[in-house]
Structure 1
Amino acid sequence: MTVSRAALSTILACALIGCGGGGSSAPPISGGASPTPTPTPTPTTSACSLRAQQDFADSVLNEWYLFPDLLANANPASFSALQDYLDARVAPARAQNRDRFFTFATSIAEENALINSGASAGFGIRLFYDTSNNRVFVTEAFEAGNGFAAGLDRGSEITAIGTSTANLQSVATLMASGGPQAVVNALGPSTAGTARILRFVQPDGATIERSITKTEFALDPISNRYGTQVLDDGGKRVGYLNLRTFIIADAATQLRQAFGQFAAQGVTELIIDLRYNGGGLINVADTMGDLMGSGRVGQVWSRTVLRPSKAAENETRLFQSEANAIAPTRIAFITTNASASASELVVNAMIPYLGDNMALIGGNTFGKPVGQFGFDLETCDLRVRAVTLQTVNANDEGEYFSGLAGVVPNTCRAPDDISRPLGDPREASISVALDFLAGRSCMAIGQSGTGDTASSGANASQRSTSMIDLPETEALRPTRPSPAQIDIPGLF
């Protein structure tokens, strides 16, 4: 069995050991050094039986799991699926909110395709649902997907789903009969060629009914439509960056291009929009830190900490030189409960350097200061992602299992206003972010008040006249998500 950190570290809302077939490694999710695992025997013809996979998972957990005292005993014979067995073994950690389905089994081939090229199959849209009224909305559309080509975009509401016009079922009926999972089932598997009839209502009230086929498409980490902008806020230049995911390796290149634009225009104040960013590669998070680290080269960016028996693998990551780096003076991070893992790492790592000059805008984050290594059983196309590490900032702070709202010095409550495009200064969260950067007051996340409007500054209403009270939303998520759906909340 061999393991290497590889150039790709991942921090999933959200590393590895390879064995069999020569062995290989998967990038660590959420940090980690280069583990040297204990060798295991060459797989036999029964290497891919459920029991063999369970034994492999046990060897991983027993040697590497971050919380060894929170592992439960479980009888392998009592389970018919590897994931159920993993869930049982880490149940005590889950009960303490330290492993909320962060330990899981996945496909080596599918995850590698996602990391290397952003490859995924689906409509290319993010779906979130209103937890009070059970309505399903598109919060974002990927430009290369068939959903966007068919007219689905931010603010579209899906009202009915079917395999033909004759068997359309309303979302209300599906929710009433089986909750969000019934909607997930109606949308069909994440495989190319799957077609569905979708009825949806556009923000302008128009109702559209279209047959849309799921295809293989490339996920673009930074949208060409709105991902990087320099906003004019009363004559002041504010850099706006919307990073969809850290999981795709090319995100580092796109970040360098984005910060090159900011540097060229003398931007020192930023809005970093991570509202749906579920995490991804740690080395991409590291690059993002470097791009905000002008003048800090050689100082501590973050630390990776493993269980005591693996302390030799702990690592301190320093700011490194980047040609397009800037020295931001103020940053507003837009987040929601879908912001996790690498997103939270970046926010937490900036606290020692910006303090009161940074804020969390929108809602509290998910709460995932831990990361995974990926352990590969190659002959079975099996990767076990196990929680193996925790990341902390330069002040050794990293206990934000309940989210970052209680950690970041300033927070400003704001709704995710899907009535406005992402990148629009009038969109509620962006408007409140601009207010923070301008020194205006706001309502703190978690503070009681009327609705979700967050800014009480005198000039806030000039930009936020269309701000609406939106209900609490959650990403629509299958019980057994694909690799892409793990890192990209709401992806279908």
Structure 2
Amino acid sequence: MSLLLSVSLVACGGGGSSSAPPTGGGGAPTPTPTSSACSLSARQDFADQVLNEWYLFPDLLATVNRATVGNLDDYLDARVAPARAANRDRFFTFATSIAEENALINSGSSAGFGIRLSYDTANRRLFVVEAYEGAAGLAAGLDRGTEITAIGTSAANLQSVSALFASGGAQAVADALGPSTAGTTRVLRFTPAGGTSQERSVTKTDFALDPVSDRYGGLILNDGGKRVGYINLRTFIIADAANQLRSAFAQFAAQGVTELIIDFRYNGGGLIDVSDVFGDLLGRGRTGQVWSRTVLRASKSAENETRLFQAEPNAIAPTKVAVITTGASASASELVTNSLIPYLGSNLALVGANSFGKPVGQFGFDLASCDLRVRAVVFQTVNANNQGEYYTGLAGVMPNTCRAGDDITRPLGDPREASIAAALDFLGGRACTPITAGGADGIAGGLEQGQAARQGLSLPERQPLQPRRPNPAQHELPGLF
């Protein structure tokens, strides 16, 4: 068993990782496996070894009759079911492919249309909430606010989205969009925001999962003559996100920005290394002070860590910050927000809707011979004041909250967009309506939403379109196709 201690995840559907070399538990290379070496029983043995030794909530593990489950995913779900019932592990422990996850982290690319989709759970309408630059979807006219109304492999067999939802729910729509492989072609009928219906044939290609958009990732907004920094981070999972953040903060530092809007509305988390850099960029003058702490179970307390602010040339010293979240905002995005509380106090606000509520993270444990990585909840993160109990979202612990909608009819980065406008109101000292604490609302995200749908659980008004078994990119960027 190879323990990737440096590959620490804090994301909604599965996590985030570090691109640093693996440490600990190495050993000699594993020989080419036989079929029995990678049998379900062997993989269950490996999963049990991981959970029994490392799981953060050892008292919330179930004993499972192996004969009752037919695959490793269901087995892991059953073993951590008590923790899930206690709202501690909402499908954060799972199995994935080592090769696919490492490729995602290191290449920063995926195959698809390059769009993120959410659907109205009441009316079964499918919308594009974000589009990646350089991808096939945006080139075809699919951008934020576009409604997709029909899907087919050709113009002759288009099926309406409403009919797909009626026949098989979200999974039927995901299936209709086809596999995440380059060369897959679909004909889509769609209506851009403010436009007219059209049909286009769109082919999936490899595209860059740019963490900081070239269009709206880092902007300086003018609010009545005051310069306000706006940073939108799509994901923490791409290793290059740290350098892209540094570039964005360079312009903030150069123009003397001290008030900031951080937009995490669809950010399900990712690499702890990236969240640490984000903290450093917000920590001018705080080098050596506590940014966050990582706390493991009592038997693994020797692995606990305290992360201190480190010097970054482009760091700023923010005086007031508004963080935009939705129910899709989780883990690393919540870690950054929670870690700001001790330093900003009443000058910090959560804007939009309550966040998901995931103050825990995963380590990756590899059975390399079987291309198996078990992501297990192993640690909790707390801020400098040792606060980290936000399992029902950050709204209950933040000094200020301001409720606002996610207005997909306006581009991200637009000061008139509802959540950005509310963030500017907070920064400007104008009144707002508080967010109701006690659970994530608004658009929700992550693997656990697809699982919840499969189990018939209640869902928010709008959520990412997510297949039952998402690929590594969809784990980290819910709604990606």
TM-score normalised according to structure 2 size = 0.91
Whether the aligned pair in 2 keeps the contact of 1:188 and 1:194 (CA below 8 Å) is: yes
Instruction: Give 1:178-257 correspondences, 5 Å limit.
Output: 178-257=168-247
Q: 1: distance between equivalents of 2:66 and 2:33?
A: 19
Q: 2: distance between equivalents of 1:416 and 1:380?
A: 42
Deviation at 1:276?
0.3
Q: 1: distance between equivalents of 2:174 and 2:3?
A: 35
1:447-472 Cα shifts (integer Å, max 9, x gaps): 8xxxx9xxxxxxxxxxxxxxxxxx93
Whether the aligned pair in 1 keeps the contact of 2:126 and 2:149 (CA below 8 Å) is: yes
Q: 2: distance between equivalents of 1:40 and 1:401?
A: 39
Q: 2: distance between equivalents of 1:325 and 1:265?
A: 12
Match of 2:345, SS?
A: helix
Q: Which residue of 2 aligns with 1:356?
A: 346
Q: Which residue of 2 aligns with 1:468?
A: none
Whether the aligned pair in 1 keeps the contact of 2:352 and 2:406 (CA below 8 Å) is: yes
Whether the aligned pair in 1 keeps the contact of 2:8 and 2:364 (CA below 8 Å) is: no
1:424 aligned to which of 411, 414, 426:
414
Deviation at 1:75?
2.0
Q: 2: distance between equivalents of 1:203 and 1:473?
A: 17
1:211-253 Cα shifts (integer Å, max 9, x gaps): 1111222100000011110111111000000000000000000
Deviation at 1:53?
1.0
Q: CA 1:43–1:53 in structure 2 vs 1: closer, same or farther (change >3 Å)? A: farther
Whether the aligned pair in 2 keeps the contact of 1:306 and 1:313 (CA below 8 Å) is: yes
1:401 aligned to which of 367, 391, 398:
391
Q: Which residue of 1 aligns with 2:470?
A: 481
1:380 aligns with 2:366: no
Q: 1: distance between equivalents of 2:399 and 2:29?
A: 47
Q: Which residue of 2 aligns with 1:308?
A: 298
Q: 1: distance between equivalents of 2:37 and 2:140?
A: 45
1:135 aligns with 2:125: yes
Q: 2: distance between equivalents of 1:415 and 1:428?
A: 6
Deviation at 1:266?
0.2
How many residue pairs were aligned?
A: 458
Q: 1: distance between equivalents of 2:195 and 2:281?
A: 42
1:155 aligns with 2:145: yes
Which piece of structure 1 moves more, 413-422 or 191-200?
191-200
Deviation at 1:37?
8.4
Whether the aligned pair in 1 keeps the contact of 2:14 and 2:476 (CA below 8 Å) is: no
TM-score normalised according to structure 1 size = 0.89
Deviation at 1:257?
0.6
Amino acid at match of 1:13: C
Q: Kindly report the root-mean-square deviation, in angstroms, between the aligned alpha carbons of the 2 structures.
A: 2.2
Q: Which residue of 1 aligns with 2:88?
A: 98
Q: CA 1:138–1:431 in structure 2 vs 1: closer, same or farther (change >3 Å)? A: same
Q: 2: distance between equivalents of 1:344 and 1:226?
A: 21
1:51 aligned to which of 21, 38, 41:
41
Amino acid at match of 2:230: Y
Match of 1:305, SS?
A: strand
Whether the aligned pair in 2 keeps the contact of 1:14 and 1:368 (CA below 8 Å) is: no
Q: 1: distance between equivalents of 2:26 and 2:52?
A: 11
Q: 2: distance between equivalents of 1:108 and 1:156?
A: 35
1:165 aligns with 2:164: no
Which piece of structure 1 moves more, 193-202 or 350-359?
193-202
Q: CA 1:243–1:299 in structure 2 vs 1: closer, same or farther (change >3 Å)? A: same
1:446 aligns with 2:445: no
Amino acid at match of 1:210: R
Q: Which residue of 2 aligns with 1:490?
A: 479
Whether the aligned pair in 2 keeps the contact of 1:28 and 1:371 (CA below 8 Å) is: no
Q: CA 1:242–1:173 in structure 2 vs 1: closer, same or farther (change >3 Å)? A: same
Match of 1:188, SS?
A: coil
Q: 2: distance between equivalents of 1:50 and 1:121?
A: 29
Amino acid at match of 2:5: R
Whether the aligned pair in 1 keeps the contact of 2:127 and 2:147 (CA below 8 Å) is: yes
1:89 aligned to which of 64, 67, 79:
79
Whether the aligned pair in 2 keeps the contact of 1:373 and 1:387 (CA below 8 Å) is: yes
Amino acid at match of 2:57: F
Q: Which residue of 2 aligns with 1:126?
A: 116
Deviation at 1:164?
1.3
Deviation at 1:52?
1.0
Whether the aligned pair in 2 keeps the contact of 1:28 and 1:373 (CA below 8 Å) is: no
1:435 aligned to which of 425, 430, 447:
425
Q: Which residue of 2 aligns with 1:274?
A: 264
Q: Which residue of 1 aligns with 2:336?
A: 346
Match of 1:477, SS?
A: coil
Q: Which residue of 1 aligns with 2:2?
A: 2
Amino acid at match of 2:463: E
Q: 1: distance between equivalents of 2:369 and 2:325?
A: 39
Q: 2: distance between equivalents of 1:271 and 1:44?
A: 50
Amino acid at match of 1:287: V
Q: 2: distance between equivalents of 1:91 and 1:316?
A: 30
Q: CA 1:60–1:316 in structure 2 vs 1: closer, same or farther (change >3 Å)? A: same
Deviation at 1:9?
3.6
1:14-66 Cα shifts (integer Å, max 9, x gaps): 499xxxxxxxxx9469x9x9665899997852211111111111111111111
Q: 2: distance between equivalents of 1:14 and 1:254?
A: 23
Amino acid at match of 2:418: A
Q: 2: distance between equivalents of 1:299 and 1:333?
A: 22
Match of 2:317, SS?
A: coil
Which piece of structure 1 moves more, 299-308 or 170-179?
170-179
Q: 2: distance between equivalents of 1:182 and 1:155?
A: 22
Q: CA 1:213–1:321 in structure 2 vs 1: closer, same or farther (change >3 Å)? A: same
Which piece of structure 1 moves more, 46-55 or 254-263?
46-55
Match of 1:3, SS?
A: strand
Deviation at 1:2?
3.4
Q: CA 1:44–1:476 in structure 2 vs 1: closer, same or farther (change >3 Å)? A: closer
Match of 1:331, SS?
A: strand
Whether the aligned pair in 1 keeps the contact of 2:14 and 2:93 (CA below 8 Å) is: no
Deviation at 1:473?
1.3
Deviation at 1:335?
0.4
Q: 1: distance between equivalents of 2:230 and 2:98?
A: 35
